[in-house]
C-alpha cells in the first residue's frame, strides 16, 4: 500500500492533497464536505475583517481546462471562519487545518492576526499576499520591500505557525529576491502559486469580455501548470529547509500532483479542477497518485519529493 501522508513542521497530514483557498470553501457546508472527504486538510476562503460582497457578476467563467475569475474576496468575515476552525479543532484536536487571511491593508492583516493570536487556534495561518482581484490594491507579493515590512510587523508578535500564499514569478531575479526576503523569517510554509493575475478572456461571438471589471481576472487550470512547477521548483532550490512548500496550480490529475512533489512540494492544493469536480476529486487523485507511486516502487512521498532530475544530474 502506498502512503500518501505528509508532514509540515511538526504536523502530520493523512493525505498530501487539499483544496486551494477560494474554491468551494466559503461556508460551513463547503467546509464540512471537505472534512468528510479524503483531503488531508482544508483551507478556508480568504477572510477580510468584515463580510465582503466581492466584485460585480459575472465574475467567473469556466474555460476548457481552466477558468478566469475576478471574485474580489467575497467572504463571511474573519469571525465566521475563526469560529468554524475553533469548533473543528475542539472536535478533532489531532487535525491541522489552514485559516486563510487576506486583508486589503496591512492594518487589516495585523488586526486579524492579533485576533487569531489571542484565540486558541493552533492550526496554520495562510497569509494571502497575492489576491489579484481587488481594484486599487496591487498584489503585495510583487513588492519585495513591502513583503519584508509586512513580515517584520507580523512576526513581531505572531508566534504560531504561519505561511504566505505567493503570486507567480516569471523572472529568476525575482525568485532570488523573494527567497532572500522569506529566508529572513520563521515561516512554516510558502504556498506557490496563486492565480496568474490579470488575464483576459474574450467571448468572440459577442465580441465582448467574458467577465466584469474590464474582463481582467486571475487564471487557473492547465494553462498555469508550467508556471506553477517553475515556481515550486525555484523556491524549493532557494528557501531554507525549515520552510515547507505547498504546491498549487494546474492540478487536474495524479500526474500533476506527482510533478508538484517532484519539484519539492510537501503538500498540493487543488483549485480550479476541485471547483469543477467537488470533493470526489480527492478520491480520484489519491487513486491516480497511488498508482503512479506503486508502478515506480515508491512507498511514501519522501521517496521522490524534490528529487526532480535535470540533464546535468
Q: Considering the complex, what minimum distance in angstroms separates the CB of residue 290 from ligand DHB?
A: 30
Q: 224 by DSSP, 3-state: which?
A: helix
Q: 269 by DSSP, 3-state: which?
A: strand
**Cell numbers linked to 159:** 508566534
Return the range that interacts with ligand DHB (CB under 6 A); candidates 69-77, 79-87, 179-187, 253-261. Answer: 69-77
Instruction: Identify the active-site residue in 16, 67, 131, 263.
Output: 131
User: By CB under 6 A, is residue 248 in contact with ligand DHB?
Assistant: no
| Of residues 94-123, those binding ligand DHB (CB under 6 A) | 102
Among 73, 244, 262, 268, binds ligand DHB (CB under 6 A): 73
User: By CB under 6 A, is residue 133 in contact with ligand DHB?
Assistant: yes
Q: For residue 148, count CB atoms less than 10 angstroms from its CB and return exposed for 0-12, middle for 13-18, buried for 19 or more.
A: middle
Return the range that interacts with ligand DHB (CB under 6 A); candidates 70-78, 79-87, 241-249, 272-280. Answer: 70-78
Identify whether 25 is a catalytic site residue: no
Q: Where are the alpha helices (DSSP H) in the chain?
A: 28-36, 78-91, 106-118, 144-155, 172-182, 225-238, 254-262, 272-277, 281-296
What does the alpha-carbon distance between residue 146 and residue 130 come to, in Å, rounded to a whole number? 12
Taking the least distance from each CB to ligand DHB, the nearer of 97 and 194 is: 194
Taking the least distance from each CB to ligand DHB, the nearer of 217 and 306 is: 217
* Bridge partners, 128 (sequence order): 165
Among 131, 193, 235, 281, binds ligand DHB (CB under 6 A): 131
Given a contact cutoff of 8 angstroms between Cβ atoms, the answer to whether 130 and 191 are in contact is: no
What does the alpha-carbon distance between residue 162 and residue 305 come to, in Å, rounded to a whole number? 22
Q: For residue 156, count CB atoms less than 10 angstroms from its CB and return exposed for 0-12, middle for 13-18, buried for 19 or more.
A: exposed
Q: Considering the complex, what minimum distance in angstroms separates the CB of residue 132 from ligand DHB?
A: 6
Task: Tell me, rounded to whole angstroms, the distance of Cα 89 from its chain centroid.
Answer: 20
Site string for ligand DHB, 215-234 (x = CB under 6 A): ---x----------------
Q: Considering the complex, what minimum distance in angstroms separates the CB of residue 45 from ligand DHB?
A: 8
Binding site for ligand DHB (CB under 6 A): 22, 46, 69, 71-73, 102, 128, 130-133, 194-195, 218
Catalytic machinery residues: 131
Amino acid at each position: 500500500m502506498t502512503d500518501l501522508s505528509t508532514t509540515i513542521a511538526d504536523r502530520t497530514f493523512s493525505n498530501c492533497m487539499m483544496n486551494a483557498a477560494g474554491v468551494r470553501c466559503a461556508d460551513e457546508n463547503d467546509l464540512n464536505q471537505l472534512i468528510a472527504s479524503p483531503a488531508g486538510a482544508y483551507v478556508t476562503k480568504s477572510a477580510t475583517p468584515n463580510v465582503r460582497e466581492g466584485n460585480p457578476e459575472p465574475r467567473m467563467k469556466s474555460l476548457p481546462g481552466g477558468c478566469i475569475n475576478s471574485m474580489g474576496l467575497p467572504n463571511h468575515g474573519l469571525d465566521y471562519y475563526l469560529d468554524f476552525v475553533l469548533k473543528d479543532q475542539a472536535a478533532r484536536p489531532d487535525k491541522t487545518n489552514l485559516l486563510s487571511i487576506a486583508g486589503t491593508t496591512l492594518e487589516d492583516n495585523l488586526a486579524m492576526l492579533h485576533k487569531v493570536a489571542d484565540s486558541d487556534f493552533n492550526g496554520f495561518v495562510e497569509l494571502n499576499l497575492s489576491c489579484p482581484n481587488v481594484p486599487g490594491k496591487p498584489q503585495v507579493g510583487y513588492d519585495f520591500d513591502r513583503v519584508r515590512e509586512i513580515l517584520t510587523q507580523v512576526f513581531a508578535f505572531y508566534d504560531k505557525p504561519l505561511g504566505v500564499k505567493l503570486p507567480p514569478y516569471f523572472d529568476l531575479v525575482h525568485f532570488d529576491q523573494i527567497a532572500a526576503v522569506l529566508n529572513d523569517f520563521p515561516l512554516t510554509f510558502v504556498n506557490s502559486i496563486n492565480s496568474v493575475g490579470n488575464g483576459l478572456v474574450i467571448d468572440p461571438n459577442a465580441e465582448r469580455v467574458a467577465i466584469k471589471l474590464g474582463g481582467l481576472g486571475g487564471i487557473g487550470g492547465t494553462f498555469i501548470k508550467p508556471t506553477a512547477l517553475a515556481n515550486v521548483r525555484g523556491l524549493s532550490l532557494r528557501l531554507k529547509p525549515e520552510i515547507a512548500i505547498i504546491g498549487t496550480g494546474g492540478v487536474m490529475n495524479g500526474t500533476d500532483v506527482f510533478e508538484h512533489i517532484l519539484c519539492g512540494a510537501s503538500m498540493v492544493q487543488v483549485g480550479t479542477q476541485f471547483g469543477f469536480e467537488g470533493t470526489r476529486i480527492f478520491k480520484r487523485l489519491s487513486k491516480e497518485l497511488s498508482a503512479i507511486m506503486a508502478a515506480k516502487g515508491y512507498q511514501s512521498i519522501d521517496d521522490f519529493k524534490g528529487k526532480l532530475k535535470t540533464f546535468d544530474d
